[in-house]
Amino acid sequence: MAQNYSDLGIEIRSSRSTGNVNTLCPQCTPLHRTKAYSLSVNLDEQCGKCHRCGWTFGLAKNQLSYQPRPGEVAYHKPPMLSDKPETDKHIKWLMLRGITQEVINRYKITGGKSFFTQVNQEVDCIIFPYIKDLEHINTKYRSISDNKDLDKKFKTVSEAESALYGYDQIPQEENSTLHWCEGELDLLSMASVEVFNVVSVPNGAAEKRFD
């Protein structure tokens, strides 16, 4: 039975004794080259969760499997995306809109085919992963087609968590202005001119009508 953090290979790199801290995950950090502080630890309850691999622990109850707390929403997890980021067709479509290869890589944009209920068929699409605290929590799909009836259809993963697109790319700078966009392509266009303190609302903006 684990008695303390070190028994689980967790190193708390903070002088704090209460609240939440982030540190390296002992389960997945050895598998990755980047040393991101993906393990969130609640010092008061002595439990935590890694937002990269999903590993959880609880010292008080010797609990190493995740169970939602009362009142906590158990969101659906999106399917894993392909390791192959995009095809030439999808790269060309993005670049024609001013999106650079660097930004495509930075935001992990992918391309492929997916079924859209609006048109009842599979269509080529751009795939936008939604990342929050290093965890892939949702995916948005945007159809692309020369056929206007098939183009510009959208969908997300049912019952997955909703969040701001670009959340994890916001620079950690004090007193910086955060820009808000209506869609993912607007955000990527700003990122392509090296404006990264920007987020996009997940479902677009409501139309404002004036009488």
Q: Tell me: pLDDT of 195 over 60.
A: yes
Question: Which residues are bridge partners to 122 per DSSP?
Answer: 115
CA distance 113 to 188: 21
Is 52 contained in some domain? yes
Is 35 contained in some domain? yes
Look at residue 181 in the predicted model and tell me its pLDDT.
Answer: 93
CA distance 135 to 161: 11
Q: Tell me: pLDDT of 200 over 80.
A: yes
Burial of 176 (0-12, 13-18, 19+ CB in 10 A): exposed
Same domain? For 45 and 116 the reply is no
Look at residue 65 in the predicted model and tell me its pLDDT.
Answer: 46
Same domain? For 52 and 95 the reply is no
Using a pLDDT cut of 70, give the percent of the chain over it.
Answer: 82
Look at residue 141 in the predicted model and tell me its pLDDT.
Answer: 95
Beta carbons within 10 angstroms of residue 90's beta carbon = 20
Same domain? For 94 and 133 the reply is yes
Is the torsion defined by CA of 66, 130, 81, 75 positive or negative?
A: positive
Same domain? For 140 and 194 the reply is yes
Residue 138: C-alpha distances to residues 11, 41, 125, 165, 171 (Å)? 30, 23, 16, 10, 21
Measure CA 168 to chain center: 7
CA distance 85 to 110: 5
Number of H helices, E strands in the chain: 3, 10
Same domain? For 113 and 163 the reply is yes
What value does the mean pLDDT take over residues 54-64? 71
Is 64 contained in some domain? no
Is the Cβ–Cβ distance between 48 and 57 less than 8 Å?
yes
pLDDT tens-digit series, residues 27-44: 777 655 556 777 888 888
Strands (E), 90-134: 110-116, 121-132
Map tokens 């929050």 to a residue: 132
Number of domains in the chain: 2
pLDDT band at residue 72 under the 50/70/90 scheme: low
What value does the mean pLDDT take over residues 167-181? 83
pLDDT band at residue 66 under the 50/70/90 scheme: very low
Where in the sequence is the domain holding 188, given as residue range(s)? 88-200
- Of 187, 124, 192, nearest to 152 (Cα)? 124
Amino acid, res. 27: Q
Judge if pTM exceeds 0.75.
no
What does the DSSP assignment read for 145-166? Answer: -SSTTTSS-EEE-TTBPP--BT
pLDDT tens-digit series, residues 2-28: 568 888 888 888 787 888 888 888 877
Q: Tell me: pLDDT of 158 over 60.
A: yes
Helix (H) or strand (E) holding 139: strand 135-143
Is 139 contained in some domain? yes
